[in-house]
Structure 1
Amino acid sequence: MCTSLTYEDYKGDWYLARTMDFGFNLDGRPVVIPRNYHFDSDASANGFDTKFGFTGAGRNLNGYILVDGVNEKGLSAAALYFTESVYAEEAKAESVNIASHEVLMWLLGNVASIAELRAKFANVNIVAVPNSLLQIVVPLHWIVADKTGKSCVIEQQADGIKITDNPVGVMANSPEFDWHLKNLNNYVQLNPGLHENKPYGKFTANGFGAGTGALGLPGDYTSVSRFIRMAFMRQHAEKAQDSSSSINALSHILNSVEIPKGVKIQADGDVDYTQYRGYMEMATPTYYMQPYDDQTITKVVLTEALLTKKEATEFPLKPTQQFNTVTE
């Protein structure tokens, strides 16, 4: 389970940020995939080639699998769990056949902007083949954004692939994205201010202070509530001045949906928690990763040296968090 949002700073630069919420330890770390890279595929003997270099969170599992990132053209994307997914049972001739867990790499490696996404994705066939780590067909949908601020959501169900413009810049998990948009109609009363006093007969009810405008904002960890909470935060959070203050602001915004260990338990006993938060700066482009056990943020800039390497580059996370001890 995850939550994501797009964010614009004071200069007009755009970011995509996400929480990675999962019970099974994914052990992700920042990875850079260089230009003109070949991926083997679980859905096709030929695999697929990429054109653009990109960076994001992933692992080498007999081949790299990434779950979010940003490419050299400023396109960013994140994969989120979506149980309603329905994928093709067979590969199709003349199509790009990829597994659900490979879509993210294909997107970042071959698409430069939202404007060209639909045309390029028209030849993609997502095939129902299992992921080698989880041993299941991973049900996913994807939020994609570019440095112009445009964003969309990709979902595949029984009626086929659907690419939907994202006017709110937010995505969570199930139900489908259109349902979440309709559900926002139930929360038009929310605002960051104070509610006015209200008379009831001869009695006047007074609000208990600042924050009364957000009464009714859901606080649980379901995807439905996280979507509403994130839409509210994104709408009203102040714009930061630059990239460093934007990452700081996004960290605070995502705090509102971060899941601590122990408060969300799955039916099988797995404990869902926020394994990391990822921040994608599209103007630079740069990837930032903030893990659960160490709130230090690791920053990876897509340099020309990294983009022109022959092999992928990993940056294992190194815990560096320190406490300042104050004594008299």
Structure 2
Amino acid sequence: MCTNFYIRTKKNEMVIGRTLEFALDVDSDIFFRKPGYRYSQDIRKILNQIQTELQLSDKQLENFQINAETPDAEQLYSWEGKYGFVAMGSLGQSFATNGLNTQGLTTGTMTLAQSEYQPFVADKNSKTLLYPCLTNWILSNCSTCQDVIDALDVRREDICLSKESTLSTVMADNGEDKLRVSNPFTGALPPGFHFHMPIQDKLGHSIVLEYTHGRLTITDLMPIGVLTNDPVIGWQQENVINNYMNITPINIQSLNPNAFWLNNNFACETVAQGSGFTGLPGSSAPVDRFVRASMMTNFAFQTDDTVEATNLAFHILNTVDIPDGTSREHINSESGNGADRTLWATVSDLTHQIYSIRMYGSPQVFKIDLKKLDLEALNDVRYRLPVREHQSIDVTNNIMSQVTISKEPQPESV
């Protein structure tokens, strides 16, 4: 499970908040990619590395099998990246579960269990991406949402843009060079490993790629700007717009005493704050998180700049955070009482290319400024955040230093 949303500042700058929830510890760390990196899609080699790294049991291995239709890496699409990026990896591999590139574009993978990708077509293997590699391709090749729309194999009628959007569908249905996206795994793959992909750029565009029934649908996330998980985005957007018109940031007022004719027996009174959000769903289910994030981003006061917006984003991320143990399977299930929890949260400042991360094990935020990174030197480096070492900021000595200063002899006045 995951939550994704945007915040726009008064300067029209974009900040993107994102969480990753999973019952499995996917061993997240940070990896870096330079411009000009050569990408291939040797999924069989990668799967062997995952099996070795995680020491998967025979039962677990049954869930990660390559289907017979998957071509060898030499037959599949390969490319040279235009842009560098920083990303959260998982399972010891350099698949971007969430990342930010040097052009101010962000994307990642979020569970959509009902995903069904485009089938393999023999004469189009050289233009086929395996879906686990899609986010790496987007981050390394695209600077805008329009770049993504223009490059992928999608029908014009399957591109759903808002009335205010400046994105174009002109390139849809145009040419044989469009990239298809296919699933290399068998049907035994757990539903949590099927994804849709949100994409946001610093121009203010926000879209999601959803593969269902073997076709790609590209949907504008604006004006709501939120994404969670199942069901598909169209249903989620209709639900929040049509069913929650009662939610307001204005506190509910006590009834005017003069309106006695409305009451048979008594009048309700309140002095509570936050009563306008009464009825806001509070569970960790995707539909509830979608509504909650939508209302929080819709009604929060607009910030002056991206520093304030980043702070606001982490506050809103707190409202969809899942503590370990609060969203668990039945004790007799195959997962053995496994519990989803928020493994990490990120905030991407698209204007200034600043990537902020908070891990489950610490409330501290770690910041990476892409503009200051030497991506050539860092290429393929994996970095694990020092979470245990940074649980809190100890200001005890700072406080005591103030006492020492106050005890120093003060010069007598003349």
The residue number in structure 1 matching 2:46 is none
Q: CA deviation at 1:148?
A: 1.6
Q: Say which of 170, 178, 196 aligns to 1:141.
A: 196
Q: CA deviation at 1:7?
A: 1.1
Map Cα deviations across residues 158-201 of structure 1 (whole Å, 9 max, x no partner). 05000001121100000000000111110011011122445333
Map Cα deviations across residues 280-321 of structure 1 (whole Å, 9 max, x no partner). 111121211110101222222223752334832322111212
Q: CA deviation at 1:214?
A: 0.7
The residue number in structure 2 matching 1:186 is 243
**Distance verdict in 2 for CA 1:229–1:92, change over 3 Å:** farther
User: In the alignment, does 2:114 pair up with 1:84?
Assistant: yes
User: In the alignment, does 2:276 pair up with 1:213?
Assistant: yes
The residue number in structure 1 matching 2:134 is 103
User: In the alignment, does 2:392 pair up with 1:322?
Assistant: yes
Distance (whole Å) between structure 2 residues aligned to residue 306 and residue 143 of structure 1: 27
Q: Say which of 234, 237, 244 aligns to 2:297.
A: 234
Map Cα deviations across residues 38-71 of structure 1 (whole Å, 9 max, x no partner). 223126514522221111211474x511101111
Question: Tell me, what secondary structure is at the counterpart of 2:322?
Answer: coil
**Distance verdict in 2 for CA 1:130–1:287, change over 3 Å:** farther
Q: What residue identity is the alignment partner of 1:34?
A: K
**Distance verdict in 2 for CA 1:124–1:322, change over 3 Å:** same
Q: CA deviation at 1:135?
A: 6.2
Distance (whole Å) between structure 1 residues aligned to residue 378 and residue 360 of structure 2: 32
User: In the alignment, does 2:205 pair up with 1:157?
Assistant: no
Distance (whole Å) between structure 2 residues aligned to residue 68 and residue 316 of structure 1: 15
Map Cα deviations across residues 234-260 of structure 1 (whole Å, 9 max, x no partner). 011123333333222111110000000
Distance (whole Å) between structure 2 residues aligned to residue 254 and residue 306 of structure 1: 30
> Is residue 88–residue 97 contact of structure 2 (8 Å, CA) maintained in 1?
yes
> Is residue 130–residue 136 contact of structure 1 (8 Å, CA) maintained in 2?
no
Question: Tell me, what secondary structure is at the counterpart of 1:240?
Answer: coil
| Structure number with larger C-alpha Rg | 2
> Is residue 233–residue 253 contact of structure 1 (8 Å, CA) maintained in 2?
yes
The residue number in structure 2 matching 1:301 is 369
User: In the alignment, does 2:76 pair up with 1:45?
Assistant: no
| TM-score, reference length from structure 1 | 0.91
The residue number in structure 1 matching 2:48 is none
Question: Tell me, what secondary structure is at the counterpart of 1:318?
Answer: coil
Q: CA deviation at 1:8?
A: 1.4
Q: CA deviation at 1:86?
A: 0.5
Q: CA deviation at 1:136?
A: 5.2
**Distance verdict in 2 for CA 1:52–1:210, change over 3 Å:** same
Moved more, 118-127 or 287-296: 118-127
The residue number in structure 1 matching 2:172 is none
> Is residue 13–residue 202 contact of structure 2 (8 Å, CA) maintained in 1?
yes
| TM-score, reference length from structure 2 | 0.73
The residue number in structure 2 matching 1:9 is 9
**Distance verdict in 2 for CA 1:215–1:224, change over 3 Å:** same
Instruction: Mark the runs of 5 or more structure 2 residues left unpaired by the alignment.
Output: 44-69, 154-177, 256-261, 401-414
- CA-atom RMSD, angstroms? 2.4
> Is residue 236–residue 290 contact of structure 2 (8 Å, CA) maintained in 1?
yes
Aligned identity (percent) is: 23
Q: CA deviation at 1:92?
A: 4.7
> Is residue 38–residue 48 contact of structure 1 (8 Å, CA) maintained in 2?
yes
The residue number in structure 2 matching 1:33 is 33
Whichever structure has more strand as a proportion of its residues is 1
Moved more, 265-274 or 19-28: 265-274
Q: Say which of 100, 109, 128 aligns to 1:70.
A: 100
The residue number in structure 1 matching 2:221 is 166
Question: Tell me, what secondary structure is at the counterpart of 1:303?
Answer: helix
User: In the alignment, does 2:173 pair up with 1:116?
Assistant: no
